[in-house]
Chains A and B, each alone.
Chain A
Amino acid sequence: MTLADRPALPFARPNLLDLAPLYEVLRREAPITPVTTPAGDPAWLATRYAEVRELLGDKRFGRSHPEPERASRISTAAVQDGPTGDYASEATDHARMRRLLTPAFSAKRMRRLSEHVQELVDTYVDAMVADHDRAPDGVVDLHAHLAFPLPVAVICQLLGVPETDGEHFRALSDRMATFSGEDAQVAREEFGRYMAGLAAAKRAEPGEDVISDLVRAQAEDESFGYPEMVRLCVGLLFAGHETTVNRIGLGTLFLLSNPEQWQALVADPEGRVDAVIEEIMRLGAPGDLGLLRYAHSDVEIGGVRIERGDAVILSVNSVNSVNSANRDADVFADAEAFDPDRAERGHVGFGHGPHFCIGASLARTELRAVFATLARRLPDLRPAVGLDELDVRTDHITGGVRSLPVRW
């Protein structure tokens, strides 16, 4: 197959909640298929749950590339755009990263944080109600009032980033994740400099926060390079808000487009919220690409032969992606339906295997507080514009909306 014959990513999608119909065809006929990336390079696209899950757990794939200069480029953003990290040390670097970070975001610690998250949510909803009472048309922006500020405030506190820097790093995150080529790279470098400055301040005056912990760990470990530490902090700050902001927005849209599900949640917020957020995690797919891996050796899988160095895009919802695997009808009955009561578990919305999302418990804590509170306090919530009128960030790797007008 020549490059020109391959389907080119991204596939046009009908709207923010549904996927391109081509995914359904690919899952059935070519679960691992050659495609052209938005950057114009060849890659494999894995769309079916079974292969995606298998690939995520397969240690013969990594994020680095044996010959980075020859690697396929994915997009013109500066996040998941190509290989990252050092091929020779990827395994040890990754193991250290997990060791340093997982305790800080453990389920137990996050449970302790939940009261504080609840207070924040209540404060934001108070402000939203006050704004609503003042607004002549009764329309308020749930994105600006809640979906955006909550994850930013929480990750700032955990990492020890001044909340007043929110606007600044938000703008940088946004530019980094936009398909703009050079500007995205410039933004990534600026983000790196910003983070290096913050790390230097923590070195001089450590706090009780994750960045201070990482600065300390870096100083004590010769194999842990300073640039690697800074890269990790940038990644955390980015992953810690972008994804969650989007899931709050999408979750609201899913619930409000399925009024019977919203009513069920309103009737029993505490009892239903966990199932609701898992279903949001399963279906939520703000961006248009997928997780990225490079083959570290030749691998036969799903009827194809992937060669060492090939790029593989795994169609799971995440920092930047579409979500074909979680809509696989072989695994999830009536897979396109938003149904919190479904029996199947095991969506791969937080990934799977060694890279499973470190922030999963944090994200769930935030989503739980948001949706239980909205159901309790704003039972008559409804969208103020149609799905097709939403301001969607289509030029952006994590997608999502720029505003979410609601009323009640």
Chain B
Amino acid sequence: MTIEVDQDACVGSGQCVLTAPDVFDQRDEDAIVELLDAAPAAGQWPAVRNAAAGCPAAAIRVGA
């Protein structure tokens, strides 16, 4: 699995950080998303998919 985040689209909601804290973080200064792990292990995949589906800005793209 590969993950891309669109920092321009991100509205800093922190939903992804709550859903998959090992994969997503928020920058301290503006709360915009930061990717901690662009190719996470399979155990993380369900959480990542939920984070992508739940992102209120559609800023997370999950590839194969």
Decide: B53 and A345 in contact? CB cutoff 8 A: yes
Distance in Å from the Cβ of B34 to the closest Cβ of chain A?
A: 11
The chain A residue with its CB closest to the CB of B50 is A345
Which listed residue, B14, B18, B29, B57, touches A353 by the CB 8 Å rule?
B57
A127 to B11, CA, bound (A): 39
Could you tell me the distance between the alpha carbons of A351 and B17 in the complex, rounded to whole angstroms? Answer: 18
Q: Which residue of B lies closest to A362 (CB)?
A: B14
A364 vs B17: C-alpha distance when bound (angstroms)? 13
User: In the complex, which of the residues B13, B17, B26, B50 has the most CB atoms of chain A within 10 Å of its own CB atom?
Assistant: B13
Known: A98-B12, A102-B12, A102-B31. A107 touches B54 (CB 8 A): no
Point out the residues of chain A lying under 8 angstroms from B29, CB to CB.
Answer: 103
Q: Which listed residue (A108, A353, A360) contacts B15, Cβ 8 A?
A: A360
Q: Which residues does chain A contribute within 8 Å of B28, judged by CB atoms?
A: 103, 106, 108
Chain A residues closer than 8 Å to B25, beta-carbon distance: 108
Name B15's closest neighbour in chain A (CB-CB).
A360
- Taking the nearest CB of chain A, how far is it from the CB of B26, in angstroms? 5
- A56: nearest chain-B partner, CB-CB: B56
B49 to chain A: closest residue by CB: A345
Interface residue from A107, A351, A354, A357 paired with B26 (Cβ < 8 Å): A107
Contact B53 A356 (CB under 8 A): no
Distance between B47 CB and nearest chain A CB, rounded to angstroms: 12
Interface size class, chain B: 10 to 19
CB distance from B33 to the nearest CB of A (A): 10
Contact B18 A364 (CB under 8 A): yes
Task: Verify B13–A356 contact, CB threshold 8 A.
Answer: yes
Nearest-neighbor residue (CB-CB) of B14 within chain A: A107
Q: Does A99 contact B (CB under 8 A)?
A: yes
Partner of B11, one of A103, A110, A356, A361: A356
A98 and B18 within 8 A (CB): no
Produce 1/0 per residue, B2-41, CB < 8 A to A. Answer: 0000000001111101100000011011110000000000
Q: Are B11 and A106 in contact (CB under 8 A)?
A: no
Distance of A99 Cα from B56 Cα, bound (Å): 16
Cβ B11 vs Cβ A98 within 8 A: yes
Structural contact, B18 and A351, CB atoms closer than 8 A:
no
**Residue A352, interface by CB 8 Å:** yes
List of A residues within 8 angstroms of B12 by Cβ: 98, 102-103, 106
- With contacts A98-B11, A103-B28 known, is A356 near B18, CB below 8 A? no
Instruction: Write out, one digit per residue, whether chain A residues 341-360 have a CB within 8 A of any chain B CB (1) or not (0).
Output: 00001100011111011001
A351-B56 in contact (CB<8A): yes
Q: How far is the CA of A102 from the CA of B13 in the complex (A)?
A: 7
Beyond A103-B31, A107-B17, whether A356 also contacts B26 by CB under 8 A is no
Given A103-B29, A106-B12, A345-B53, 7 extra CB contacts under 8 A: A98-B11, A102-B11, A102-B14, A351-B56, A353-B11, A356-B11, A360-B15
Instruction: Give the 9 A-B residue pairs with the shortest CB-CB distance, closest first.
Output: A107-B14, A102-B12, A356-B56, A102-B31, A107-B17, A106-B31, A103-B31, A356-B13, A352-B56
A residues contacting B by CB (< 8 A) are 57, 98-99, 102-103, 105-108, 110, 345-346, 350-354, 356-357, 360-361, 364
A-B contact pairs, 23 of them (CB 8 A): A98-B11, A99-B30, A102-B11, A102-B13, A103-B28, A103-B29, A103-B31, A105-B14, A106-B14, A106-B17, A106-B26, A106-B28, A108-B25, A108-B28, A345-B50, A352-B56, A353-B11, A353-B56, A354-B11, A354-B57, A356-B11, A356-B15, A361-B18
Which residues of B line the A interface, CB within 8 A?
11-15, 17-18, 25-26, 28-31, 50, 53-54, 56-58
